[in-house]
Amino acid sequence: MANTPLVGIIMGSDSDLPIMQAAADMLTHFNVPFELTVVSAHRTPLRMVDYAKTAKDRGLKVIIAGAGGAAHLPGMVASITTLPVIGVPIKSSNSIDGWDSVLSILQMPNGIPVATVALNAAKNAGILAATILGSFDAELSEALQAYKNQLNDEVLIKVDKLKTTWPNSFDK
């Protein structure tokens, strides 16, 4: 893939970076070029609008947006762009066990969809972004299949290990 970013990773605050780093790590693993920045729906609304309006023209194909608390960033970005937006709810310091963030991103009105991953699951957002791009890129699709095969193999190794302790374990 070219070095032009295909995925934008945005977050409401730099305090979200420890969570959002997992999305960047997965995209790096799959050699998907990305950009990463802070875009706050509440503190920098004009920056958010500009980011969303220009994303497609800048070559982005998917946006991953992480936010905590009221978590308006993914939905607001999705309301401005036609690109797929993947929301990552983040349990932040002002969050109510993260449920406020989950529901803010998940409960979008009809017409403005946001794909939503689990609380703090930026890794899955990175994989989902790669999967969307892999729909149109055979090499990336193969890398994703290899990743899934690796996950399968890791589980089977655990099954074999378990059988040594529990001989009557299901082994098919």
Residue 167: predicted pLDDT = 78
Single out the residue of 131, 148, 152 nearest to residue 140, CA to CA: 131
Residue 153: predicted pLDDT = 96
Question: Residue 171 phi/psi, 5° resolution?
Answer: -125, 25
Binding residues for substrate: 13, 16, 43
How distant, in Å, are the alpha carbons of 7, 33, 73, 96, 172 from that of 139? Answer: 17, 14, 32, 41, 31
pLDDT in tens, the chain (172 residues): 458 999 999 999 999 999 999 999 999 999 999 999 999 999 999 999 999 999 999 999 999 999 998 899 999 999 999 999 999 999 988 777 899 999 999 999 999 999 999 999 999 999 999 999 999 999 999 999 999 999 999 999 998 888 888 878 776 6
Binding residues: 13, 16, 43
